[in-house]
């Protein structure tokens, strides 16, 4: 399944700095002792042109569900708890939202988070026919200061 109706405006927000999957612990959080006891879940995407190795990222082969614009991670984490036999990838471009999501996903082995523009991730990084279901809930394509 491929998401086809995505605005070309998405490219205006692309950030080509290094891309990371932020999993259980945000990179700037926790002491050295804490990090020694928490399995490393930070996976760096080496190339913007190669498809993701989902089995390597999740450590297993399972149906993949993707939450596009996962926000604070509440939805993707709730789904992951209810469906432990599936893999869940939350994609969010805003760093603070990814950090909040990472805290919520800290105890969930079947959740991974990607900080990136959804359009790019879906079009260029996901292997063809690798996704069982996409979720797109209440997107805010142009966040404003509040």
Cα torsion for 82, 96, 68, 26, to the nearest 10°?
-60
Does some domain include residue 62?
yes
Catalytic site includes residue 109 = no
> Is residue 31 helix, strand or coil?
coil
Does some domain include residue 23?
no
pLDDT given for residue 73 in this prediction: 92
Does some domain include residue 84?
yes
| Dihedral sign computed on CA atoms, order 40, 72, 97, 139 | positive
Single out the catalytic residue among 15, 28, 67, 140: 140
Does some domain include residue 145?
no
Does some domain include residue 18?
no
Residue 115 forms beta bridges with which residues?
A: 92
Q: Convert the pLDDT of each residue in 94-103 to its tens digit.
A: 888 888 888 8
Domain count, the chain: 1
> What is the pTM (predicted TM-score) of this model?
0.70
Task: Supply the CATH number for residue 129's domain.
Answer: 3.40.50.150
Task: Please tell me the chain's helix, strand, coil percentages from 3-state DSSP, rounded to the nearest 5.
Answer: 30, 15, 55
Structural domain of 87: 52-138
Tell me the pLDDT band of 9, cut-offs 50, 70 and 90.
very low
Does some domain include residue 27?
no
Does some domain include residue 73?
yes
Does some domain include residue 61?
yes
Return d(Cα 8, Cα 28) in angstroms, integer.
33
Q: Convert the pLDDT of each residue in 72-115 to its tens digit.
A: 999 999 999 999 999 999 999 888 888 888 889 989 999 999 98
């Amino acid at each position: 399944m491929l998401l086809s109706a995505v605005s070309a405006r998405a490219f205006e927000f692309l950030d080509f700095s290094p891309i990371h999957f932020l999993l259980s612990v945000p990179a700037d959080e926790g002491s050295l002792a804490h990090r020694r006891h928490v399995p490393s879940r930070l996976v760096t995407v080496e190339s913007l042109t190669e498809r993701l190795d989902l089995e390597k990222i999740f450590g297993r082969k399972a149906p993949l569900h993707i939450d596009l614009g996962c926000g604070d991670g509440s939805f993707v984490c709730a789904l992951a708890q209810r469906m432990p036999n599936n893999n869940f990838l939350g994609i969010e471009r805003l760093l603070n939202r990814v950090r909040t999501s990472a805290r919520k996903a800290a105890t969930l082995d079947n959740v991974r988070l990607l900080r990136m523009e959804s359009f790019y991730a879906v079009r260029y990084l996901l292997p063809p026919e690798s996704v069982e279901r996409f979720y797109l809930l209440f997107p805010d394509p142009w966040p404003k200061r509040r």
